[in-house]
A and B are shown apart, each in its own frame.
Chain A
């Protein structure tokens, strides 16, 4: 009796935890998804009149979703690739210097800046009437604001990518520095060198694989996060193509109420893609763990 009581208490506590997780974490998500699905088929919505597949067909035919998906993937992928490269380079090259208290503090600082603020900073710096444009004018490199190159709302998403990099890199840098320390990569590197590996071999075959192997799930999640980013592309992006979240909100807020459902179609497809990607990411991670 005295032994089973704490056990049942523990079970009860874990059950309550699970139910709360379901209520707060899963139920609203599933409910929202089902609602969006019903909306996309015209089954709910004050301006809809019943089941139809026309919104799915028109969304597919317009091509806006595919364009937006490709654009978002390229922007998020480029941002993650550059951020990972910079963070890895800094970790491998300057990890000792980065332990300095002032630098360590400076690394945390960008993490406290929300995306929307970072986007405004970028706009203030890179716009044609922004800080750098004014400097260029003061030095006589340009004579009019309009001569300054297009760095925000531009076709190559330079402003968006620059902002993403400034948000993601500090986070990845902290992550890599911790992994480097916890996995004792320094000692492994020394060992490999004592076994005859040169500096390059040590970096490419020991340090990088160890750090990346421990962090790729998080890098993948960050990629998904950037794929669905809203404020930064809203402020710094152009009108076409637009990143996925911006496209979804545009469709849902359009003037033609009879076509609001197209926004829900995009939201449903996007949710399915992202959820599948996240599940695959975690199941593969678990497989790796299991095999290990």
Chain B
């Protein structure tokens, strides 16, 4: 009898929903009511934790300040892109009403996937008081991978993809495909493309160059255009891959591996978002002080990263309050410190009160990395997500497996 009871308990436990909070829609409440409802609650934030400076900003600034100013406990859960999508999909498939997560740090392709499975809650952005400081007329903010954000995700940061090089070793780095071809022939084995998000972002720049214009990939996905351009791209890479790292027989799985190889001198050109993210790595002694960043002549991708609220977030009021704090002038100023997270603010300085604008303008400049204002002269918009999906598949089929 006891045993049957144990099994029954187990079944009920496994089928039951552990979090029973039922909440009214905070979008209908006034901001005062949202603030009141969020006090004393816990918000779960799923985010990428792969950078020490990001973790330091969250753990030593965001969490204690939120607790002090809003009495909210922010709990960080590790996970990015595919993990977030898997988690939301898994919960959806299992019919979980109250998610283990409230907010997620995402960018375009995850936004596209979450939208596809109706995994986000909103539109909520216009509800946030601090959203008034954001310029939603800027297409790099309001359009994410050629999709209008429609208030379903709040911009949190902005960054441009950049190539990086050691200025002592490579005084004149290649800025277009023709120069790259000459460069790798002269210095074989020192360049490669990682088979991940960063690598695909570089391929987007190449594709845009082959289109003949920085705006060549703007607009909805054009299959015909992609076929023509990608054919040229694979032909270019296959023609030259014998001069790549490991003679193009294999490619690094992740961009972090490229960082290590750049640091050890195995590669002399690398790349990455956040304008190449070199400031922190030079300060830590990982990269030489002669490291510099630059944009591709035809442009590299400039985009924003965002925070979304999952469709079944149990604490939506708390989620709104946390996101509003993250886009506050105070939090964005701390985030922009070049000796800290060194992230470009997503706020429009012209929309800020005078006192805050001054504080942003007085921030120390980067010592090694390029400023976004300088780099963004050579910027392209994120192409539609289908370009990314096709590039992933075809890079594997036509280059890696060839």
Number of interface residues of A (CB under 8 A): 27
Judge whether B266 and A145 touch: CB under 8 Å: yes
Judge whether B93 and A239 touch: CB under 8 Å: no
Tell me the complex Cα distance, A256–B392, Å: 9
Q: Mark A150-191, 1 if CB is under 8 A from B, else 0.
A: 100111000000000000000000000000000000000000
The stretch of B127-135, B245-253, B285-293 in contact with A is B245-253
A198 to chain B minimum Cβ distance, whole angstroms, is 48
The 8 Å CB contact of A240, one of B85, B250, B260, B266, is B250
Q: Mark A89-126, 1 if CB is under 8 A from B, else 0.
A: 00000000000000000000000000000000000000
* Residues from chain B with Cβ under 8 Å of A19 in the complex: 3
Choose among B7, B190, B389 the residue with the greatest number of A CB atoms under 10 Å from its CB.
Answer: B389
* Residues from chain A with Cβ under 8 Å of B93 in the complex: 44-46
Judge whether B117 and A47 touch: CB under 8 Å: yes
* Residues from chain B with Cβ under 8 Å of A205 in the complex: none
* Residues from chain B with Cβ under 8 Å of A129 in the complex: 260-261, 264-266
Judge whether A128 and B389 touch: CB under 8 Å: no
Tell me the complex Cα distance, A19–B116, Å: 42
| Given contacts A146-B189, A238-B249, A255-B392, A47 and B266 within 8 Å (CB-CB) | no
Judge whether A240 and B401 touch: CB under 8 Å: yes
Q: Give residues of chain B (366-399) contacting chain A, Cβ–Cβ below 8 Å.
A: 385, 388-389, 392-393, 396
| Given contacts A145-B265, A238-B250, A240-B396, A255 and B116 within 8 Å (CB-CB) | no
The 8 Å CB contact of A47, one of B10, B89, B250, B392, is B89
Judge whether A46 and B396 touch: CB under 8 Å: no
Would you call B86 an interface residue if the criterion is a C-beta within 8 Å of the partner chain's C-beta atoms? yes
Would you call A277 an interface residue if the criterion is a C-beta within 8 Å of the partner chain's C-beta atoms? no
| Residue of chain A at shortest CB distance from B245 | A146
A245 to chain B minimum Cβ distance, whole angstroms, is 14
* Residues from chain A with Cβ under 8 Å of B396 in the complex: 239-240
Would you call A273 an interface residue if the criterion is a C-beta within 8 Å of the partner chain's C-beta atoms? no
* Residues from chain B with Cβ under 8 Å of A64 in the complex: 401
Would you call B109 an interface residue if the criterion is a C-beta within 8 Å of the partner chain's C-beta atoms? yes
Judge whether B195 and A239 touch: CB under 8 Å: yes
Would you call A34 an interface residue if the criterion is a C-beta within 8 Å of the partner chain's C-beta atoms? no
The 8 Å CB contact of A255, one of B3, B7, B109, B252, is B109
Other contacts beyond A23-B10, A145-B266, A154-B250: 5, CB < 8 A: A45-B93, A128-B264, A150-B246, A154-B246, A256-B392
Q: 29 A-B Cβ contacts within 8 A?
A: A19-B3, A23-B7, A44-B93, A45-B89, A45-B93, A46-B89, A46-B92, A47-B89, A47-B116, A47-B117, A64-B401, A129-B261, A129-B265, A129-B266, A145-B264, A145-B266, A153-B246, A153-B252, A154-B250, A239-B195, A239-B250, A239-B396, A239-B400, A240-B401, A253-B82, A255-B82, A255-B113, A256-B392, A257-B116
